[in-house]
Amino acid sequence: MKAETRVIGIDDGDTRRRRRVVVGAIFRGGLWLDGIVSSYVDVSTPTLGKVLGDMVVASKFYKELRFAILHGTMLRSGQSSVLAEFNNTTEMPTIAILRQRYSEMFDCAAGREKSTIRFRLHDLSVLGMGLTKEEVMEILRITCLRGHIPEPVRVAGLIASTVNAPKRLNWTRGQLRAGS
């Protein structure tokens, strides 16, 4: 596998809002940021995986992407079909990463799909769809520069948490609720 394989990391910034901005960061390996895509989603929608997949397919980077890595509270929304829908929409191998304490969500997803692998890595639970364990480990080796979270997911999480912050642009909570 090439060191500059294009990977998209998708994260929602660990916000608790029902409607939030989800950000995808496209990297070449773990070193170069090539682009950013985003979408405003409602995590309670039954087609969340399709919405995320459509965001990736509509980007100008789609033809060059080889793998997708998902992370964040959107995976803990209680819908085990998010990963399968995303994988079917994008038709690319997908890796999902959650903290170990939230890994019960992966039990349903791993049981449904035939080409899934699930394992523990440090304090993370990793689910790979359309990949072998060796391929997942190789992708994580290429994209993880600092710590155990891949760089595309880390950057997407930083951007999404800033965008989803309730006090962005010096707004107060009262102004946000009033719709101004």
Angstrom distance (rounded) from CA 161 to CA 130: 29
pLDDT band at 159 (very low <50, low <70, confident <90, very high): very high
**Which class in CATH covers the domain with range 6-163?**
alpha beta
Distance, CA of 96 to chain centre: 7
Please write the tens of the pLDDT for every residue from 31-89.
899 999 999 988 888 888 899 999 999 999 999 999 999 987 777 665 667 888 898 99
d(CA 103, CA 146): 22
Secondary structure element (H or E) that encloses residue 49, with its range: helix 48-57
Of 14 and 100, the one with more pLDDT = 14
Collapsing DSSP to helix, strand or coil, 4 comes out as: coil
Q: What's the rounded Cα separation, in Å, for the pair 38 and 28?
A: 18
Predicted confidence at residue 99, as pLDDT, reads 75
Q: DSSP letter at 73? A: G
pTM of the predicted structure, to 2 decimals: 0.83
Return d(Cα 92, Cα 62) in angstroms, integer: 10
What phi and psi, each to the nearest 5 degrees, are found at residue 146? Answer: -120, 120
Q: Give ∠ CA 62-140-69 in degrees, rounded to 5.
A: 40
pLDDT for 108 equals 55
Assess whether pLDDT exceeds 90 at residue 158. Answer: yes
Identify the pLDDT of residue 68: 95
Q: What pLDDT is attached to residue 42?
A: 87
The whole-angstrom separation of Cα 166 and Cα 19 is 12
Tens of pLDDT along 21-36? Answer: 999 999 997 789 999 9
User: 17 falls in which pLDDT band (50, 70, 90)?
Assistant: confident
